Structure 1
Amino acid sequence: MRSLRLGIVVALVGVGSACSAIGGEDDQDTARALADDLASALSRHTLDDVPLTDESARSSFAEVVAPLDEVPVSVSVGDVQEVEEEGRADVTLAWRWELSDAAAWQYETSVGLTRGGDDETWSVAWSPDDLAPDLAEGDTLGLRTLTPARGDITGADGAVLVTERPVLRYGLDKTKVDGAQVARSARRIARVLDVDAPALVARAQAMGPEAFVEALVLREDDALDVLPAFRRVPGALAVRDSLPLAPTREFAAALLGRVGPATAELVDSSEGRVLAGDEVGLSGLQARYDEQLTGARGTAVVARGADDALRTLFEAPAVDGADLATTLDPGLQAKAERILAAAGADAPASALVAIRPSDGAVLAAANGPGAAGSDLASTGQYAPGSTFKVVSALALLRSGLRPDDVVSCPLTTVVDGRSFKNYDDYPASALGDVTFTRAVASSCNTAMIGNADRLRPGDLSAAAAALGLGVDHDLGFPVYFGQVPPAETETGAAADMIGQGTVLASPFAMATVAASVQAGRAVLPVLLPDHAVTQTPPDRPLTPAESSDLRGLMRAVVTEGSGQFLLDVPGEVGAKTGTAEYGEPDASGALPTHTWMIATRGDLAVAVFVENGQSGSQTAGPLLEAFLR
């Protein structure tokens, strides 16, 4: 949308011409001094204190130049040519208006000076085109803001994710109602649109008689159900417009963010970049990369003639915003969101992250309806439960334990007075002396805890770092990579082995762990390919033999352990389930549980999280299975 400010000018008189004859030195010096005074005054947007042949020109100039009052201008004197026999001189003025940091309007005009009166003093014969070339008597000046096109956000292979899409702006047209009907219509509109009625009524009553009082903006498709009831309200008006939107309202909403009218805080903190009424990024990537996506506004200086026709005197074009590239796969992102949404709006918070191990590309980062707009997929901080046993297994492999070694998996174990047990429906066939592979496949807590004394301080955090967990990176958007701090007690060390205690991770971090196992190195996830990130290799990188063993352990989860329901999923799937207790116990003494599942298949690594459920295999597992299928 463009904005126009117009000044008002009354008739101006005067002449301007150029000659070559030069008069006496005293006259020339006096004319030069007046020319310098004129340039100085014009640089202050005024003709005050400058002698004029027509005093009405002073106020007329002030009115016509008013739309440019806030634009810095510098005026300098070029040639001063006097025609002695005619008692006049022509002065060349060089103008430079600083319309923006990147655009200047520069030109020259010729102003006439005349000499007259008993004392033969010089005065300025001001005319409209002395202000700007081709400005005619009766013209008005104006400034137009040229709004750039906002850049798109793209996904894998350049697929457009966010672009201008049609919307309807619903509101009240106050030119159609007055008096008490304003409040009545505002209340009815609020009921139809399900918005805050008192707030809408207050705004409607406060705004001017010709205002459009916006109540809600809806996608064109979403708006169809609203139109019949809305149209019956006196003064109701739906205005067609467009906004940068993703394919659906839910599509990566927390990650991509939204665009809307700039808040007062944004305007104040922008140092002039953002103006009141601008549409800007308010959250997510839209906010973080708003300057890139917005581009730079342009400016045009226009003149309106007596016939109302507009002429452009100068234009500094707007610079359109640049696209922001991401690696999101539109199909996988939409699939992840459909799967999470199928649980219903009342379901617990959930998230799914998918990463391509070969290059770290983030293919999907979805949040379920229960997340209530939060980006739990990337920034959630939760105990990862038994999915962390992939990390614990690596630490134990490095201690010398082999996949075929026999370990003890008792029903319970006690550490420093605290009892630990396996999950309630742990298979009896996997108790007792079992291979390390079987202990991981069936997710035996007591076996992992029973071998915790094989590890030295720092071994667990080093193993985590080798799989990309607990090491922060600036990926160009907020991400929580988790933490594996040193344990302070024996019971803390035991709890850490099974992904409880002080160990925390996000779904994004656990997808990174799975991707690192599959890739055979610490994967650095990439969402924004143009955002340069330097990865510092872990102190003890993952070796080919270690990654091969870990892939074998995760495959055993599917072939003989808690992930056997994935056995008929096409391709070779590796997985790990997880459940983590948290919060306060219920009336029966049971604690609520976070549920997790991570998996790999070919060049794909996935993590699924549900904030509250029965177990990883029963709650998170079906969501992961649906995604892999």
Structure 2
Amino acid sequence: MTAALALAVAAPMLSGCFEEPSAHDAVRDFLVGWQTGDYAMAARRTDGDEGKVRQALEDVRIQLDAASFRFGLKGVRRTGDEAEATFEAEVDLGENNPLWEYDGRLPLRLVDGRWKVRWSPAVLHPELREGQRFAVDTDPEDRQPIVDRNNDPLQQPANLHVASVTPARLQDAAGLCERLAAVTGFPQDRLLSRIRSAPPSEELPLVTFGRLRFAQLRSKLEAIDGLKFSVREASVAPDAPTQIVGTVTAVTPETEQQLGGPQRAGDTVGRSGLQKAYQEHLTGSTETSVITVDLKTLEPVTELAKWRPGRTASPVRTTLDRKTQAAADSALAATGPGMLVAVQGSTGEVLAVGGTKDYHQEKHAFAGEFPAGTAFSVMAVEGLLKSRVDLEQKLDCPAERTVGGIRFRQAGASAGGTPTIQASFAGGCVTALASLARRVDGTALTAAAAKFGIGVPWTLPLKSFSGKVQPLKNDAATARALAGQNVSVSPLSMALVAGAMASGTWHPPILVKEPATQDPSDEAEAPRQVSPIDLDEETTAALRSLMRAGVTSGSARAAAAPGDPVHGITAAASADDKPLSWFVGWQGDVAVAALVESPDSTAGAVAAGRFFRNLRAGM
């Protein structure tokens, strides 16, 4: 409002433009005094009792909990010894509310040769009457849920404890706020201003606590006279996958700053996972009303303004599937420490993220950096085929082999003999696969890995890792890549690799379907997504044959019962001196990567086998 911003600056000019006696001088002094908090100057320009006018102006600021007032003079019309000024008011109500704007009128009359504002409550607002006051009523939206692909909620009900007051019944509001601030850490002045601006006869929630926090403070809170306590059920306890969904807490003094300013009691804040990433969507905004209240009955009289700033809260719809998640969690319950990520092969949509207590679903299953082991070798197939390598060709699988000066060792029953290249893939023979480094160029191998999404900069609302291939400058480095020793991947990235082999197209991961962006203000511009990558048909056919052989005759047999249409391979790796067992494969349109901490190279396949059986059982 340009006029409002200019009023205080233009005040000297107003007095210079009109000769005394001028009604403009009285209007200027009154509005500038009100705007700047010089209530004595404003009161002197009225015909009312100066002490009462000063108090009334101070009370308006308190009753509205106003951060500031701005006024713009629209005009002054004089008729004999009377005049009327019209002005625009702009009141900043704080609490993340928009500005309250209204038009006001100032009647004036000459008193002993000086213009005076005729004092009445209508000077403050045209609809304010004697025996009334302002108040600000608020109604925050309930937090919306995070749901799975079938709109089933991914939260469970939890109890929140609310400490409330009825302002009109308080004997010592300032003392109550002082004691409550000492116990909770919330600013005393903010607590008090909320009480003073609220409708006096209505119960006002002041602070909300989670179960544990309330239990810690209960005895101290109950010792504060005037506080009332109630329990409110809210769907904020995360369901599986809990670390992906994330946790929610009631607003604390520490989280107020995170939310961008003072919040009303009852507001909640996401502390992790999707609850944190989509905080602004899930909580929406608070409906605010400016009303007048009868001072005798303490009942509302007139609603002067009402708005809900910002956007309406909305659920977050994910690609997760509760049944698939249950199948993953059950499969991992019988294993050692491990993770399992399942995606829809034809779309890249994340269906389930499982992890034992030793591994974090976001930090490790999505964003962890683990050696790929021989599971990475499948990405070399395209380069081998273009080099006209026959996958049925015999290839020694010795216990040891040196390539480019690097010694590779093969452990397990597959050592020795002369299997085919296909069998070496299926059995994960490190020494055989490393020897192929002379037949595939390192640059071509890196390019082939990118077709499977390794190192591709995809976008997810949570932290994730798409993988990385170290520079392959010689045969030794390429051999190490084929053995997965200088390639880092996450379980999510390897599940997408499996999905690419199953569908013939690599798809970037999708975790959230709605809303389009994390920030409501950017809703019109969804983040740019990485395009799907089609695989060569010959490569796809060869990979499907290799992956099926891994289950029917290779080391991944534990992933399926005889006849089950499962494709996959296993791989052994080591990280931080911990032996790791991979399974990468699919059944139908469900692609899986399982990583289990175990010296048994088939442990990942065992976990995947349980997962597929659970799916068939309808978990």
Q: TM-score range by the shorter chain?
A: 0.7 to 0.9
Residue type of the alignment partner of 2:294:
G
1:43 aligned onto 2:29: no
| DSSP-derived class of the 1:408 partner | coil
The Cα shift of 1:524 comes to 1.7
1:309 aligned onto 2:309: no
1:613 aligned onto 2:598: yes
The CA distance in 2 between the partners of 1:526 and 1:499, in whole Å, is: 26
1:161 aligned onto 2:147: no
Aligned pairs (5 A) from 1:48-447: 48-50=40-42, 51-53=45-47, 54-67=49-62, 68=64, 70-78=66-74, 80-84=76-80, 87-99=81-93, 103-117=98-112, 120-162=113-155, 165-169=157-161, 217=211, 239-245=230-236, 248=239, 251-262=240-251, 267-268=256-257, 271-272=260-261, 278-306=267-295, 307-311=297-301, 312-317=303-308, 319-343=311-335, 347-348=336-337, 350-371=338-359, 375-416=363-404, 418-424=406-412, 426-427=413-414, 431-447=416-432
Q: Which residue of 2 aligns with 1:546?
A: 539
- Taking structure 2 as the reference length, the TM-score comes to 0.77
Distance 1:510 1:628, change over 3 A: same
On the 8 A contact 2:65/2:93 being kept in 1, the answer is: no
Residue type of the alignment partner of 2:395:
V
The CA distance in 1 between the partners of 2:563 and 2:20, in whole Å, is: 95
The Cα shift of 1:462 comes to 1.4
| DSSP-derived class of the 2:488 partner | coil
Could you report, residue by residue, the CA deviation over 1:308-348 in whole angstroms, capped at 9, with x for unpaired residues? 213433221354312222111121123212332444xxx52
The CA distance in 2 between the partners of 1:78 and 1:269, in whole Å, is: 40
Distance 1:109 1:203, change over 3 A: closer
The Cα shift of 1:300 comes to 2.0
The CA distance in 2 between the partners of 1:214 and 1:297, in whole Å, is: 16
* Further displaced range: 484-493 or 52-61: 484-493
| DSSP-derived class of the 1:48 partner | helix
Q: Which residue of 2 aligns with 1:470?
A: 455
Could you report, residue by residue, the CA deviation over 1:174-204 in whole angstroms, capped at 9, with x for unpaired residues? xxxxxxxxxxxxxxxxxxxxxxxxxxxx958
The Cα shift of 1:438 comes to 1.4
The Cα shift of 1:607 comes to 0.8
| DSSP-derived class of the 1:136 partner | coil
Distance 1:368 1:461, change over 3 A: same
Distance 1:150 1:213, change over 3 A: closer
| DSSP-derived class of the 2:487 partner | coil
Residue type of the alignment partner of 1:594:
L
On the 8 A contact 1:203/1:213 being kept in 2, the answer is: no
Could you report, residue by residue, the CA deviation over 1:226-266 in whole angstroms, capped at 9, with x for unpaired residues? 9xxx99xx989985223443563xx1222222222456665
The Cα shift of 1:292 comes to 2.3
| DSSP-derived class of the 1:157 partner | coil
| DSSP-derived class of the 2:448 partner | helix
The Cα shift of 1:515 comes to 0.4
| DSSP-derived class of the 2:276 partner | helix
The CA distance in 2 between the partners of 1:286 and 1:456, in whole Å, is: 45
The Cα shift of 1:294 comes to 2.3
The CA distance in 2 between the partners of 1:121 and 1:444, in whole Å, is: 103
| DSSP-derived class of the 1:40 partner | helix
Distance 1:294 1:97, change over 3 A: same
1:32 aligned onto 2:24: yes
Residue type of the alignment partner of 1:392:
A
The Cα shift of 1:32 comes to 3.1
The CA distance in 2 between the partners of 1:552 and 1:156, in whole Å, is: 32
The CA distance in 2 between the partners of 1:269 and 1:370, in whole Å, is: 29
Identity of aligned residues (%): 27
The CA distance in 1 between the partners of 2:254 and 2:383, in whole Å, is: 49
On the 8 A contact 2:208/2:265 being kept in 1, the answer is: no
Q: Which residue of 1 aligns with 2:512?
A: 528
Q: Which of these residues, 485, 493, 515, is aligned with residue 470 of structure 2?
A: 485
On the 8 A contact 1:99/1:299 being kept in 2, the answer is: no
Distance 1:373 1:481, change over 3 A: closer
Unaligned runs of 5+ in 2: 1-16, 166-181, 193-204, 517-525, 614-619
Residue type of the alignment partner of 1:291:
E
Distance 1:459 1:615, change over 3 A: farther
Q: Which residue of 1 aligns with 2:555?
A: 562
| DSSP-derived class of the 1:37 partner | helix
The CA distance in 2 between the partners of 1:139 and 1:52, in whole Å, is: 20
Residue type of the alignment partner of 1:551:
R
Distance 1:170 1:278, change over 3 A: closer
Distance 1:207 1:66, change over 3 A: closer
The Cα shift of 1:304 comes to 3.0
| DSSP-derived class of the 2:291 partner | strand
The Cα shift of 1:519 comes to 1.3
The CA distance in 2 between the partners of 1:472 and 1:442, in whole Å, is: 31
On the 8 A contact 1:45/1:65 being kept in 2, the answer is: no
On the 8 A contact 2:40/2:50 being kept in 1, the answer is: no
Residue type of the alignment partner of 1:572:
P
The Cα shift of 1:377 comes to 1.2
* Further displaced range: 134-143 or 280-289: 134-143
| DSSP-derived class of the 1:142 partner | strand
On the 8 A contact 2:39/2:58 being kept in 1, the answer is: no
The CA distance in 2 between the partners of 1:564 and 1:452, in whole Å, is: 27
The CA distance in 2 between the partners of 1:372 and 1:574, in whole Å, is: 27
Q: What is the aligned length?
A: 541
The Cα shift of 1:448 comes to 0.3
The CA distance in 1 between the partners of 2:82 and 2:246, in whole Å, is: 65
* Further displaced range: 507-516 or 122-131: 122-131
| DSSP-derived class of the 1:57 partner | helix
On the 8 A contact 1:573/1:600 being kept in 2, the answer is: yes
Residue type of the alignment partner of 1:146:
D
* Further displaced range: 42-51 or 547-556: 42-51
On the 8 A contact 1:166/1:240 being kept in 2, the answer is: no
* Further displaced range: 305-314 or 473-482: 305-314
Distance 1:265 1:392, change over 3 A: farther
The Cα shift of 1:627 comes to 0.9
The Cα shift of 1:62 comes to 2.9
The CA distance in 1 between the partners of 2:530 and 2:546, in whole Å, is: 27
The Cα shift of 1:613 comes to 0.5
The Cα shift of 1:290 comes to 1.6
On the 8 A contact 2:162/2:232 being kept in 1, the answer is: no
Distance 1:407 1:143, change over 3 A: same
On the 8 A contact 1:341/1:369 being kept in 2, the answer is: no
The CA distance in 2 between the partners of 1:259 and 1:111, in whole Å, is: 50
- Taking structure 1 as the reference length, the TM-score comes to 0.76
On the 8 A contact 2:374/2:484 being kept in 1, the answer is: yes
| DSSP-derived class of the 1:433 partner | coil
| DSSP-derived class of the 1:245 partner | strand
Q: Which residue of 2 aligns with 1:17?
A: none
The Cα shift of 1:218 comes to 6.9
On the 8 A contact 2:144/2:283 being kept in 1, the answer is: yes
The CA distance in 1 between the partners of 2:493 and 2:252, in whole Å, is: 33
